[in-house]
Amino acid sequence: MNNQNFDGPSEAYSEHELRESAQAEREEMLKYKWYLGEKLGHDPENDRPAWEIFAEWVARHAAGFRKNWDAQRRERVPL
């Protein structure tokens, strides 16, 4: 993808920012899995595979996470 042609709501991300965002999302998904485990009293993977747990996080929380992450990015780096 050519970042110069990106017409999204914010400027294109650098490769570093994409990696940083992906790592932050991964950490949030793992926190979500841990939270579910605490709530259930056991590892949620006893009930269903990890990919389902992470897909649930994506469906419920990814959009809000990305919006928040982008807002924080804008505060750090003026456009």
- For 1-54, the DSSP string reads --GGG--SSSPPPPHHHHHHHHHHHHHHHHHHHHHHHHHHTS-GGGTS-HHHHH
- The structure tokens listed for 49 are 């595979």
Q: Is 48 part of a structural domain of the chain?
A: yes
Q: In this predicted structure, what is the pLDDT of residue 70?
A: 86
Give the residue with greater pLDDT, 15 vs 41.
41
Q: Is 2 part of a structural domain of the chain?
A: no
Q: Indicate the length of the chain as a whole number.
A: 79
Q: Report residue 28's pLDDT band, with 50, 70 and 90 as the boundaries.
A: very high
Average pLDDT over residues 18-41: 95
Taking the C-alpha atoms of residue 47 and residue 41, their distance in angstroms, rounded to an integer, is 12
Q: Is 6 part of a structural domain of the chain?
A: no
Q: Is 7 part of a structural domain of the chain?
A: no
pLDDT at 20 over 70: yes
Q: Is 18 part of a structural domain of the chain?
A: yes
DSSP state of 56: H
Q: Is 5 part of a structural domain of the chain?
A: no
Q: Is 4 part of a structural domain of the chain?
A: no
Model's pTM, two decimal places?
0.75
Q: The domain containing residue 65 runs over which residues?
A: 14-76
Average pLDDT over residues 25-48: 96
Counting the structural domains of the chain, the total is: 1
Query: Minimal CA–CA distance to 11: which of 56, 76, 65?
Result: 76
